[in-house]
Structure 1
Amino acid sequence: MRRALLLACLALPAALAAGAEELPVRAVTLSNAGLIQIERAGSLAPDASVTFRAPAEDVDDILKSLVLRDPGGVVEGLRLPAQDLEAEAFRGLPLRSEDFASRVAVLRALRGQAVEAGGSTGRIADAEEAEGGLRLSLLTPQGLRLLLLREGEEVRLTDAALAARLARAAEAMAASRTADERQIEIRLRGAGAAREVGFAYVAAAPLWKPSWRLLVPTSDGEARLQGWAVVENRSGADWDGVRLALVSGNPAAYRQALYAPIRVTRPELPVRVAEQVTVTADTGARPVAEAQAQAERAGSAPARAMRAAPAPVAAAPAPAPPPVANFSDGVAALPAATAAASAGRVAFTLPAPVALRAGETANLPFLDTTLPAERLWWVQDVNARNPLNAVRLRNTGSSVLPDGLAAVYGAAGPESGAYLGDAEIRAVAPGETRLLAFARDRDVLLNSATASGERPVRIEFRRGVVVIGTLRREEVALAIDPRGARGKLVVDLPRRPGATPRFPVAAEGDFGLRHEAVLDGSATTLRFAFEREGRQEVPLWDAGLSDPILLRWREVDVEREQRRLPGGPGMLETLRTVLERLRADAAGRVELEAVAAGLAEARRRLETARGAIRQYLAAEAVLTRARAAVEDRTGAEREEARRRLNQASLAAERAGSAADAAWEAWQQAVQAVVARTG
C-alpha cells in the first residue's frame, strides 16, 4: 500500500537516442604529462549518430580537443546534458527534486494544477496518506471532491507541456544520480552506405609511471635495463584489444572551463539617494605610549674547525668468494616496444594489444636492453662520512629513456641476484650518460677540511693611492681511505661565483663541477682549490685632510693627526707587509719598493718636523711668559725683563723658521712619493 503511485506523466524515455551507436576504443596513448589520447572507431550507418559516455571531469578537455574522422559525412555538432542538468531541468517548474521523496510530496507540490483522477477532473487541493490508499482533494466547478485512490490508479496532468517538462526533470534527476559521467552524442549526416568513422580526444588521466630493473656488473662492463610501465584505466570505458602507446615528453597542456556556464559580471549602478551622514563617536583622550628602542646584536658564526684526514687502515685480505653464476643470464626477456622519437618526445608502442577493464591497473613491460656500465664511487657532499655506490650508464639506444625509479640488482659475483638499492633515473637522451647512486659504501671513509688565504699578486698606483691586486685562494681538502679498494671516484662540488677552479673539471652541470680520480687502494688526499681576484686600496694619507703639499703646519695639530699624514704610523708598515708577501717578479714590486723608500724618507723628515714644531712651541711658551714679565715689572727689573723678551722673541723666530724649513722638507719628500704614484 505504500508503493509509489504510478504517474503517467513521469514515464522516462529511452536512455539512448534512436539510431545512436557507441564505437569501441581502438587505441590509447598515455603521456607522462598526465594526459590520455583515446581513439574510437567503427562502422556507422548513414543516418546514425555516435554516442559514448565519459567522466564529467573530462568534458572540458573533450570539448577542447575532439577530432572527428568521417570520409563520407558532415558533422552537425555535439550534444550533452548541461553541467548542472538537474538545476536546469527544474528551473521554472512548480516542484523541486526533494519533492520526489514521496507521492504525497509530489502531489502537494502540484497544488492548483489540473488533473484527471478516479474519473474526475479538477485542480489538486491537497493529498495525504489514508487507510486503504491515497486521499486526494480536488477543486471542481461544483466544489471540493474527495477521492480515495488505490494502487495502480493514475493521476494524469491535463497540461501536456507541463507533463513533458516534468518527464524531462525526472530524467535529469535520474541522470544526476550518476553525475560523475555524461553521455555525449555526436551528430553526423551521411549519405549512401555505412562508412568507417572514428574520433579522438585528449583528457586528463593518471600518468603512466615507468619503473626500471637494472642489473649492474661488479666492475666495468654491460648493465641490463628492463623497463616496466604502470598503467591505469580511468577513462570510464573498457579497453579490449587496444593499441597502447606510452609517450614521454613535455607538452604544453592547459585546462579551460568550456562546459561550465560562465556569466559576465556587470557593474551595478546604484539608485541615487541623499548622502547619509555618519559620525564616529568621541571616546575621549588616551595616554600617549612612549616608543622603546630595542637594540639588535648580530652574532657571528663560529669558524668551522679544520678536520684532519683519517689515518689509513690496513685492509685485511678477503677470502675468495665461491663461484656464482651470472644472475642476468637467467632473467626472463621482456617483449620490447617499438620506439618512435620526434622533437622532444618518444612514444613506446607495445607490441601486443592490451585488454584492461575500466578501473583496473596493469604493469606492462616495454623495454629490455643492455647499456655500457661503469661502477664507481660518487661524492655529492664532501662533508659526508662515506661515498655513494654508483654506476655510470651511457644510453647507446636511439630513444630517450624516461624518468623513473630503478631497482638495482647485482648481475654477477658475490652480488649475483642481490638487491643493492634503488636509483632515480632522470631522462637520458641518446648518447648521454647518467650517474645512478643506489647505496652508501660504509667501507670507504671520507673526511674534509677547508682553508682560505689571500696574498698580493700585483701593484698599481693612483695619485696618492697604492692599489694592491690580491688573489684569494679557497681550498677544500678531501681525505679518502678506500681500505684497499680500487676504482674510480667522482666528486661533485658546487660552483663559487667569481672564483676560478684550479683543479681538473671533467664536466659541468646542475651538479656543479665534477672531478674524477682513480683510487689505488691507499689513503690519499684530493685538493680542490678556487681562486678569486680582488683589489685593495691603500691611501698614503687620510682623504679627509687637504692636500698635504698645500697643508701648513700651523693649521693642523701634527701630534694628534700624525697617523693621517703621509709617513705617519701605520701606512709604511702596511706597505712593508705587502712587500714581504709579494713575489719578487710581481708586477709593480719595484715601484712599490721605491714608494716605500720614499715614504720612509717622508717619515724621517716628518719626525724632524715634529721635533722642530715642538721646539717652536716651547719657544713660544717662553716668549709668552717673557711678555707677561715685562708687564709685571718696574724700574731696573723691567729693563731686564725687556732684554729677556727680546731674546725670547729672537729664539721663537729662529724656531719658527726651523719648523718651516723642516715642514717644507717633509712636503718635498711627500711630493716625491706622490710623483711616483701619479
Structure 2
Amino acid sequence: MRPSHLVPIVGLTFGLMALAPLARGDNQPDTKQPPQQPAPKQPAAKMTAGADAKQSPPVNLPITRVVMFSAGVAYFHREGDVTGDGRLDLRFDEGDVNDLLKSLVLTDKDGGKVRAVTYDNRMPLDITLKGFAVDVTENPTMGQLMHQVRGEKVEVADKTGVVTVGQIVSVERPAVPATGPDPGEILNLLTEDGLQTVELKQLKKIKLVRPELQAEFKKALEMLASARGDNKKAVSVVFSGNGKRKVAVGYVNEAPLWKPSYRLSVDEKGATRVQGWATIENTTDEDWTNVKVGLVAGRPMSFQMDLYDPLFVPRPMVEPDLFASLRPPMYQGGLNPTANMGGVAMGNATGNPTNVAGGFGGGGFGGGVVGIQGGQVGQVGQIGNLGGQFGLQGGFTGHYGTYPQRVPRPNLRTLYGDRLTYSEYVNRLRGNPTPVENDRPPMTTVKDPLDKRAGALAVADGALGDMFEYTIDEPITLAKQKSALVPLVNEAVESSRVSIFNAATLAKHPLLGLKLVNKTKLHLAQGPVTVFDGGTFAGDARLPDIKPGETRLVSYAIDLGTEVVAEPSETKRTLLTVAVADGKLVMRAGLKRVTTYQIRNRNPQDRTVIVEHPKHSGWKLVTPAKADDQTRSFYRFDSVVKAGALVTLEVTEESPAVDVYGLTETSRDALLRYASLKEAKPAVREVFTKLIELREKVDEAQKGIADEQELLKEIADDQDRIRKNIERTPKESEAFKRYLKKFDDQETEIEKRRARLKELKVELAKHEKALKDFAGTVKAE
C-alpha cells in the first residue's frame, strides 16, 4: 500500500492513494471510468528529475551567441556567471530533443564541474499521469477518487459540522428509490464505533489523515496544469563548484536557413558596388538581447538520429535443461492377510511401475479481486480396477468485475514499442544502418563552436575549410518570433558590361549581364541580386557562390538590341587511314562540324558578346584555337561588336571515328572496294589482293556446294513423284518398267552427287582455313 497525502481540491480536502487490485463488495457506484493504460512508475517533476536539480538554486544563462548554418540548423551559445551550485532550466520542443542530445556541450570553468543533465522522457502526458499513485487522467468523480484510496483513514465533515474519522471500506451507489431524493454515492467508513455510512453529497470536507500522498498528488496536478497546450520538454543542467565561475552551454537545434541577398549598383562610368544583407529569423521562444550572430555559408553535413527513445537489445532465449523425473513406484500388497487390512492394493499383480500414470495438471491463476467470479478448482481423478492410474486436473480462473481497477504497470518495452530485432542489433554492432536510420556521411570537422570571435561587418574564417562564416560586428537584439535584415558586405567590386548568348536559354537574343570580379575579402554566398544601372532598377539576377578573387557572370535582362543566329552545319566524315592487323580491317576517319554564329548589334553602343558554345564528349575544339573561357559544359568566346555591325564567329570541332571489320567475314565486293581506296597504301592493297584471291576460292567452293545441294533436291523431288506413280501403275505395264528404270538411274546419280558434295566440303574447309590463317597473321598499314 502506498503512503497517503492530504490534498485540498475544489473546496474538499481529501487524500488519494493507488492500491493493488481490490476486492469489491456487492454495492458499487455505477459511474464508470475508462480502462487505464499501464505506465511505469517514474519521478514526476515539472522541470527536473534529479535530487540535485531540486536542491540547486536556479541560474539564468542568456543566449550570447548564435551561429546559423545553411544546413537547416543553428548553434546556440549561452554564457554567464554562477556562484556555488546552480541549476539551469530550459524547455525544448519534443522534436528538438534529439539534436540537443547529439550536440550538447557544457563548460564549467575555475574548478567547477557539470553534473548529470536531466530531461523529461517522451511518454505522453496520460501515460505519465498514470505513473502517479493518484490517477487524474480521465477526470474522475469524487466516488471514483475515494474508491482509489480504499483502506485509507480519512476525516470527513458534513455540512452541519459533524466530524467523522474512519477508514474507507467501499464506495457504493444504491438504487434510486421510487419516491424521495436520490442519495447519490455512499461512502462506507470503518470507525471506532463500527461501520458508518455517509452520503458524499452531504460532505463539506474530506481530509486524509496520512499526509505522504499530498506531494505526489500535487505533482500530478501541477504536471496536468503545466502541460496544457504545451508540447515542451524540460531539461535541467546542474553546475557544482565553489565561488563565482564562468559557465557556458552550447547546443545545435533545427533552425530556418539564413538567406543572403545582394544589391549591385553600377554607375555611368562602370564603377560597381555590392551591398549584401542576410535575412535571419528568431523562431525560438526566447528574446535575443545583444547576441553575437554568425552566419555560415557552405554545405556542412547534418543528420538526425533518434537518441530520445530507449532501445532494447535482443537477448537469446535459453531453454532450461529438462531431466525426466523418476516416477514413484506403487508397491503391491503383501500375501499376508494381515498386511492387506490397512490399505488398498493398487496396480496389477506384476507390480509394473509403468502402469502408474498419475500426474498433476494445473490451469492458470488469474482474476480481478473486484467482481471475482468464483475461482474454480476442478479435480478429476480415477482409481481404476487395479489399473494403477491416478489423474488430477485443476485450475483457478476468475474474471474482472465492471468497476474500474488500477491496471498493473507494464514494463518499459510495452510503453516504448518493439525492441530491435536480432538482425537489426547485429547490423548496429557491425556499424551498418538499420532500415529506419539515415545513411551517415562522414562528419565535417569544424572549429570549436565555443571559441569566441570578434570581427568587423563580416569577417572571414579560413578555419572552417569549405565553409565560410560571417561574424556580424554589432550585437543584435531580436524579439522572439521576429525577423531581421543584418548587413554582410558593402564594398566596391570590379565588373564589365557584357551580353551573354546561350542558344539553350534564349535562341534569338543574348542576355544583358555583368562579368563580376569579387575583389572583396569575403566569400559571397549564393543568393538573389537586384541590379541598379545608372541609379535605376535594371533587373534581377542570381549570384552563385563566389570566392575572393573569383570571376562570375550574372545576367539580369534581355538585350533586345542584339540578335544572334546560330547555324550548325552537317557533320562531315573524312577517311584518314586504312590498316590490317589481327584479322581485322581498321579504318580511321575524322568527323568535322562547324557552327556559325552571326551576331548583329543594333544598339547605339558597342557590345561585348560572350557566346556559350556547348561542349560534347569526344569532340575537340579546332577553331578558334582556344576559348576565352570555359566551364564544365560550355566554351565561351568573346566578340566585340561595334554599334550597327555584324560579326561572324565560326566554331570548328573534330572527333575521331574508328570502324573495325572482320576480314574473314568481309565479302569479295567489299574487299575490292577497300583495295581501291586512295587512303590505302600499297602494302595494304597487296594484302587486299591476296585476300580477294582466297575469298574467291572460298566463294567458288561454297557455290559448288550450293549447286550440288540444289541438284540433289531436284532429284529427290522427282523420285517422290516417280514413287507415287509406281504405286498406282500395274506391274505388268511398260510404264511401270520405265518408272522403275528411271528411279534406279536416279539412285546412281544421287550417289555420284553426294560423293562430289563431300569433296567440295573438304575443299571449302581447306580454303576457309587458308583465309583464316592469312587474315590472322598478316599486318599492313
Query: TM-score interval w.r.t. the shorter chain?
Result: 0.5 to 0.7
| 1:388 equivalenced with 2:388 (yes/no) | no
Where does residue 573 of structure 2 map in the other structure?
Answer: 454
Choose which of 348, 364, 387 in structure 1 pairs with 2:470: 348
Query: Partner of 2:619 in structure 1?
Result: 499
State which of 662, 666, 669 in structure 2 corresponds to 1:569: 669
Partner of 1:285: none
In the alignment, is residue 530 of structure 1 matched against residue 649 of structure 2?
Answer: no
CA, structure 1 residues 32+677, in 2 after alignment: closer, same or farther (shift >3 Å)? Answer: closer
1:233, distance to aligned residue in structure 2 (A): 0.8
Mapped to 2, the partners of 1:218 and 1:597 lie a distance apart of: 76
Identity of aligned residues (%): 22
TM-score by length of 1: 0.66
Question: Which letter maps to 1:447?
Answer: V
**Bigger mean CA offset, 229-238 vs 102-111:** 102-111
Q: Deviations over 1:24-75 (max 9, x none)?
A: 2222222222222222222212133222333333222223222223323121
Residues 522, 166 of structure 1: CA spacing in aligned structure 2 closer, same or farther, 3 A cutoff? same
- In the aligned structure 1, how far is the partner of 2:277 from the partner of 2:182? 67
The residue number in structure 2 matching 1:81 is 120
Q: Which residue of 1 aligns with 2:608?
A: 488
1:378 aligned onto 2:500: yes
**1:475-518, Cα deviation, whole Å (9 max, x unpaired):** 43333333356322223344322222224233343444333333
My pick for the range that moved more, 107-116 or 382-391, is: 107-116
**1:188-236 CA distances to partner (integer Å, 9 max, x unpaired)?**
2211x333322222222112111111223568x3321111111111232
Corresponding position: 1:146 with 2:198: yes
Of 210, 231, 236, the residue aligned with 1:180 is 231
Aligned CA-pair RMSD: 4.5
Q: Against the structure 1 CA distance between its residues 517 and 95, is the aligned structure 2 distance closer, same or farther, given a 3 Å change threshold?
A: farther
1:224 to 273, 276, 279: 273
Which amino acid letter does the alignment assign opposite residue 84 of structure 1? M
The 10-residue stretch of structure 1 (387-396 or 113-122) with the greater mean CA deviation from structure 2: 113-122
- Which residue type is aligned with residue 125 of structure 2? E
Relative to structure 1, is the Cα distance of residues 396 and 140 closer, same or farther in structure 2, using a 3 angstrom cutoff? same
Would the alpha carbon gap of residues 243 and 498 (structure 1) be closer, same or farther in structure 2, given more than 3 Å must change?
Answer: same
Residue 78 of structure 1 and its aligned partner are, at CA, apart by 1.3
Once residues 466 and 14 of structure 1 are traced to their aligned partners in structure 2, the CA distance between those partners, rounded to angstroms, is 87
Q: Write the deviation string for residues 574-632 of structure 1: whole angstroms up to 9, x where unpaired.
A: 554x43xx5xxxxx5454566678899999x99xx99xx9xxx9xxxxxxxxxxxxxxx
Matched, 1:215 2:260: no
Task: Report the alpha carbon displacement of residue 363 of structure 1 after superposing the two structures with TM.
Answer: 1.4
Closer, same or farther in 2 for the Cα pair 1:57/1:527, shift >3 Å? same
Counterpart secondary structure, 2:279: strand
Match among 47, 56, 70 for residue 94 of structure 2:
56
Count, aligned residues = 523
CA drift at 1:361 = 1.0
Taking the aligned partners of 2:290 and 2:553, their CA distance within structure 1 comes to: 39
The letter of the residue matching 2:511 is L
2:297 to 248, 254, 277: 248
The whole-number CA distance in structure 2 between the counterparts of 1:532 and 1:378 is 27
**Map of 1:190 onto structure 2:** 241
**Cα gap change, 1:245 to 1:7, in 2 (>3 Å):** farther
Structure 1 distance, partners of 2:619, 2:234, is 65
Summarize the Cα distance change of 1:46–1:387 in structure 2 as closer, same or farther, 3 Å threshold.
same
Pick closer, same or farther for the CA change 1:372–1:575 going to 2, 3 Å: farther
- How far off its partner does 1:100 sit? 2.7
Q: Deviations over 1:64-97 (max 9, x none)?
A: 2222233231212212222226355334446645
Q: Secondary structure at the match of 2:672?
A: helix
Which residue in the other structure is 1:337 paired with?
Answer: 458
2 CA distance for matches of 1:511 and 1:68? Answer: 50
Could you tell me how far 1:354 is from its partner in structure 2?
0.9
**How far does residue 457 in structure 1 lie from its aligned partner after superposition?**
1.1
Match of 2:631 in 1: 509
* Residue identity matched to 1:495: K
Q: Aligned in 2, Cα 1:14/1:101: closer, same or farther, shift over 3 Å? A: same
Unmatched 5+ residue regions in structure 1?
Answer: 272-334, 544-563, 583-587, 618-659
Deviations 1:622-643 (A, max 9, x none): xxxxxxxxxxxxxxxxxxxxxx
- Alpha-carbon deviations, 1:437-484, whole Å to 9, x = none? 222323333333432121111222237754211112244333333335
CA contact (8 A) 2:184 2:200 kept: yes
Aligned match of 1:43: 81
Letter in 1 for 2:588: G
The 1:530/1:109 distance shift into structure 2, 3 A limit, reads farther
In the other structure, the counterpart of 1:445 is 563
Which runs of 5 or more residues in structure 2 are unaligned? 1-8, 17-43, 49-53, 158-162, 321-455, 709-762
Deviation at residue 124 of structure 1 after TM alignment = 6.8
**Equivalent residues in 2 for 1:37-436 (5 A)?**
37-64=75-102, 65-84=104-123, 86-87=125-126, 89-93=128-132, 96-100=135-139, 106-107=145-146, 115-118=154-157, 119=163, 120-123=165-168, 125-126=170-171, 137-140=187-190, 142-143=194-195, 145-148=197-200, 153-158=204-209, 160-191=211-242, 193-217=243-267, 221-265=270-314, 336-342=457-463, 343-382=465-504, 384-385=506-507, 386-410=509-533, 412=534, 416-421=535-540, 423-436=541-554
Secondary structure at the aligned position of 2:221 is classed as helix
> What amino acid does structure 1 have at the position aligned with 2:264?
L
> CA separation in 1, counterparts of 2:597 and 2:551?
25
Q: Is the 8 A contact 1:23 1:52 kept in 2?
A: no
Whether 1:33 and 2:71 are equivalent positions in the alignment is: yes
- SS of residue matched to 2:61: coil
SS of the counterpart of 1:253? coil
1:529 partner letter: T
Deviates more, 1:113-122 or 1:232-241: 113-122
1: CA distance, partners of 2:121 / 2:694 = 97
Q: CA deviation at 1:372?
A: 0.4
Q: Give, as a single letter, the amino acid of the residue that structure 1 aligns with 2:276.
A: G
CA distance in 1, matches of 2:267, 2:688: 67
Determine the C-alpha separation between the residues in 2 that align with 1:105 and 1:465.
98
